[in-house]
Structure 1
């Protein structure tokens, strides 16, 4: 789903809420149906068990008499007085189906072939049709059968009450499901909302960053073409145009860099890296910039300290941090880069005496396009991609990056590279202007 504005996000949230609601309701209804059928099956089994136990108990009492006494209705009635038959029907019949005794609560027809076991029979009470459950047992040592039967009226009434209770709570379940689904949908959409917001902000910032140098280039060219000027004037204008072009180039490079990281096409090549050589290379790259900004740039590492990592990626990370340290520094400030060994790890720290970072901004400084101080970022040509790139590159080589900062005091970024091999011989300490 393509989400490009607030309306799209609202539609997505509503659609997701409906999906959550429908899915949850289906699950809840299936659970209710499953519970109801399980409960009803258990109730019917209990009904049968009670009926069977009742028949066995009455049959045991009856077979205590002589077989001839079974035909004595008074004797049978006397025995049955000890049992509260309630809504039960009771029949005693011989093997030929002749009824010797009956006490019927419901009218029903017995099966033609009498066998022991459960039977579901059609009964009638007046004009009302009823379902009768019967259990037939053979009286031990006799040729007689005992039938104990009971209708399902009470059981079905209880089951209907249970079903009604379930149906009664369905509207409340629906309301609760909608509320929870909306919250879940909002929670699921929130990262997308934030991404859309960030992308909108990035579009605005990128447009501003591109518009400013383009306007500068255009204005300088137009002024230079108005009339002939002396060479120094043209040189000044060309330098301004070059600065603006470099600014545009940096923005485009950062965006392409981010694209490569997103597509997973950025290669990683692990090799043995001597930090002394790496620091010397960085010093030659940035000492001119540091001098122009009146910032003291220094490097320090234990001599021949060697680590296993991707040299180009590590150099890119440190370049971003050093460039930021110089750009956001004070006049006559400093940027220190030093490496320390701790066990099998090496910490490489870039420390500066710059403007620092507000405490509330620190959790977000590695987010793409995030800029705590927008006006200062624009002054230095940044749009909030540098630290994000540094963070992703650090993850790419399996390292960690952390930051400590205090406003108007400075910042300290530390890269921790784990599981390294190292050699120590003396100390390397180079300082620049």
Structure 2
């Protein structure tokens, strides 16, 4: 009965059923007409026989007895033998019985007319059905060709019932999926284009510096002081390039989804302590402080290595924009819904002009005096947090410090 879910087939079924019902109704009427007509023909024949007998002197009582009296087997046999001797047999040619012949021709004509009308009705129903189906398929084909010619918004009408419209809905789903893949492909190409441009742009300066330092060293090969000085500068440029390339590769892997995070429940204090372990010496040297404030038992479902990278980048960014005697504070807290990690400092703060762009790759503020970074740390931190299905927000007051908040949902361990 799945066929009846198709609206067009259901309509076709009901139309054929209606035609068959009408045909049955008219066939009953037709059979009544045949019976009535046959009775009229039979009575007319009897009238003719009775009249013939009366006109030739037969007594009315004898004539009435011929039609009304019950006949014996002998009378039936006698009459049958007599009439058969005259040629009145079952196989007699209809042409010799004018009334019978007229009756047969009349109802053959009626029967033929009835079959023709019934057949034409069925043909018209099927013609209308298949014409409608053909129009629907043609519209679908037009929509598909429109899509193939570049119109990504083209869709097939699939808001009706039936198997055909289920097929159209599946085709629409395929078209939507193809559009999504095309958009992903465009995004990937644009991403690669921008990445290559960024790498080329960012490597241009250190490569030019290395080339210049190398030329100076070659020219002053006998001057030990100059060689030593520019060797240190070359080492600094190489280190800068190494950091740049390493961070770019990390961001690229996160953005393209090629990294599978190894998530498990980790102690937040351990993560934070590990993230600042390589920065504590610098903080002491620069007379800056880093303090931790949060529960020893708080845990977060995450990839420890990547989250250490994110927090470390945020703390490093804070140290880059602080003076001697200022501090960075790392706090964390848990609620029934989220786990929040906060990195705040009382440094120089972020200029209002920059607040909306600080997570943009390679963004460097024209107000910043920091010359250490390459503009990837905050972008990488944001990518890591978002890979954990978290969010990162920032608030800052110029001259008073910045406030970074990392929020992670605790709905599921996914």
TM-score range, shorter chain: 0.5 to 0.7
Partner of 1:212, secondary structure, is: helix
Q: Which residue of 2 aligns with 1:213?
A: 206
Report if the CA contact (8 A) 1:330-1:355 is conserved.
no
1:286 is displaced (CA, Å) by 2.0
Deviations, residues 204-261 of structure 1 (Å, cap 9, x unaligned): 1112223322222221122122125765544432332222111222233235545776
1:318 is displaced (CA, Å) by 0.8
CA distance in 2, matches of 1:215, 1:223: 12
Q: Which residue of 1 aligns with 2:123?
A: 156
Identify the match of residue 414 of structure 1 among 406, 409, 414.
406
Identify the match of residue 185 of structure 2 among 158, 170, 192.
192
- Trace 1:80-229 onto structure 2 (pairs within 5 A): 101=103, 134=115, 150-153=117-120, 156-157=123-124, 160=127, 174-179=141-146, 182-183=152-153, 184=176, 188-228=181-221
Distance of aligned partners of 1:211 and 1:106 in 2 relative to their CA distance in 1, 3 Å threshold: farther
TM-score by length of 2: 0.58
TM-score by length of 1: 0.55
CA distance in 2, matches of 1:331, 1:47: 95
Identify the match of residue 24 of structure 2 among 52, 70, 91.
52
CA distance in 2, matches of 1:291, 1:230: 36
Structure of larger gyration radius: 2
Report if the CA contact (8 A) 1:351-1:412 is conserved.
yes
Identify the match of residue 293 of structure 2 among 301, 319, 331.
301
CA distance in 2, matches of 1:379, 1:106: 108
Q: Which residue of 2 aligns with 1:91?
A: none
How many pairs does the alignment contain? 320
Of 228-237 and 375-384, deviating more is 375-384
Q: C-alpha root-mean-square deviation of aligned residues, in Å? A: 4.9
Which structure carries more helix by proportion? 2
- Trace 1:6-405 onto structure 2 (pairs within 5 A): 39-40=11-12, 42-59=14-31, 68-69=39-40, 71-72=42-43, 101=103, 134=115, 150-153=117-120, 156-157=123-124, 160=127, 174-179=141-146, 182-183=152-153, 184=176, 188-228=181-221, 232-257=225-250, 262-264=257-259, 267-268=262-263, 270-271=265-266, 273=267, 275=269, 279-289=272-282, 296-302=288-294, 304-307=296-299, 311-327=304-320, 329=321, 335-342=328-335, 346-352=339-345, 353-355=349-351, 361=357, 365=359, 370-371=360-361, 373=363, 381-382=373-374, 384=376, 386-387=377-378, 389-391=380-382, 393-394=384-385, 400-405=390-395
Distance of aligned partners of 1:394 and 1:250 in 2 relative to their CA distance in 1, 3 Å threshold: same
Deviations, residues 79-107 of structure 1 (Å, cap 9, x unaligned): xxxxxxxxxxxxxxx9x997673686985
CA distance in 2, matches of 1:419, 1:163: 54
- Segments of 5+ residues of structure 2 without an aligned counterpart are 46-89, 95-99, 154-175
Report if the CA contact (8 A) 1:133-1:151 is conserved.
yes
CA distance in 1, matches of 2:279, 2:104: 112
Which structure carries more strand by proportion? 1
Report if the CA contact (8 A) 2:396-2:402 is conserved.
yes
Distance of aligned partners of 1:341 and 1:161 in 2 relative to their CA distance in 1, 3 Å threshold: closer
Distance of aligned partners of 1:390 and 1:357 in 2 relative to their CA distance in 1, 3 Å threshold: farther
Of 233-242 and 245-254, deviating more is 233-242
Report if the CA contact (8 A) 2:272-2:311 is conserved.
no
Distance of aligned partners of 1:387 and 1:72 in 2 relative to their CA distance in 1, 3 Å threshold: farther
Distance of aligned partners of 1:201 and 1:246 in 2 relative to their CA distance in 1, 3 Å threshold: same
Report if the CA contact (8 A) 1:402-1:415 is conserved.
yes
Distance of aligned partners of 1:233 and 1:197 in 2 relative to their CA distance in 1, 3 Å threshold: same
1:156 is displaced (CA, Å) by 3.5
1:349 is displaced (CA, Å) by 0.7
Deviations, residues 180-202 of structure 1 (Å, cap 9, x unaligned): 65225655522321221121010
CA distance in 2, matches of 1:61, 1:203: 93
Distance of aligned partners of 1:383 and 1:205 in 2 relative to their CA distance in 1, 3 Å threshold: farther
Deviations, residues 298-354 of structure 1 (Å, cap 9, x unaligned): 323146344365544432221122223344x36577643222343585421123523
Higher RCO (C-alpha under 8 Å, 6+ residues apart): 1
CA distance in 2, matches of 1:285, 1:229: 38
Report if the CA contact (8 A) 1:336-1:350 is conserved.
yes
CA distance in 1, matches of 2:274, 2:260: 26
